[in-house]
Amino acid sequence: MISKNLTAASTKPIILGILKQGNSYGYLIIKKIKEISEGKMEYSDGMLYPVLHRLEKEGLIKSNWSMEDDTRPRKYYEITETGKQSLVEEKQQWQQVNAVLDQLWNVKQSTN
């Protein structure tokens, strides 16, 4: 399992990345994260929805209610243009962090 701190830190780019692939609703987002991470990241409703509300307040995503066939209404989330720009910035930052970690972890130890 991935630690809660690392999971929390990566929530924004993960959610934006999922929504860039297409509109989705909460349960499906949780399911997709679990699937992509091969079960190593688990989100609960209590963890996901406050982040979705914050991202919506920041203008990175928007939502609308939809009812398909005989199902109950679901709140679908969609990434905005501002959200797509933010995702590009997030990706660059995560790549920089990853590059630093790669350098640190792949440094050959000098022998004295």
Give 7-42 as a 3 state SS string.
HHHCHHHHHHHHHHCCCEEHHHHHHHHHHHCCCCCC
pLDDT at 42 over 90: no
Burial label for 32, CB within 10 Å (0-12, 13-18, 19+), is middle
If one counts the domains in the chain, the total is 1
- Give domain status of residue 111, yes or no: no
Domain span at residue 37? 4-105
- Give domain status of residue 89, yes or no: yes
What confidence score (pLDDT) does residue 68 get?
77
- Give domain status of residue 110, yes or no: no
What confidence score (pLDDT) does residue 98 get?
95
Please write the tens of the pLDDT for every residue from 60-90.
Answer: 999 999 987 777 899 999 999 999 999 999 9
CB atoms within 10 A of CB 29: 20
Global pTM?
A: 0.88
- Give domain status of residue 112, yes or no: no
Which is higher by pLDDT, 71 or 32?
Answer: 32
Alpha helices, DSSP H only, in 37-80?
45-57
What confidence score (pLDDT) does residue 111 get?
56
What confidence score (pLDDT) does residue 109 get?
64
> What CATH number is associated with residue 13?
1.10.10.10
- Kindly state the helix (H) or strand (E) to which residue 68 belongs, with its residue range: none
Burial label for 6, CB within 10 Å (0-12, 13-18, 19+), is exposed
Q: 42 with 1: CB under 8 angstroms?
A: yes
Task: Report the percentage of the chain scoring pLDDT > 90.
Answer: 79
Measure the CA–CA gap between 41 and 62, rounded to whole angstroms: 24
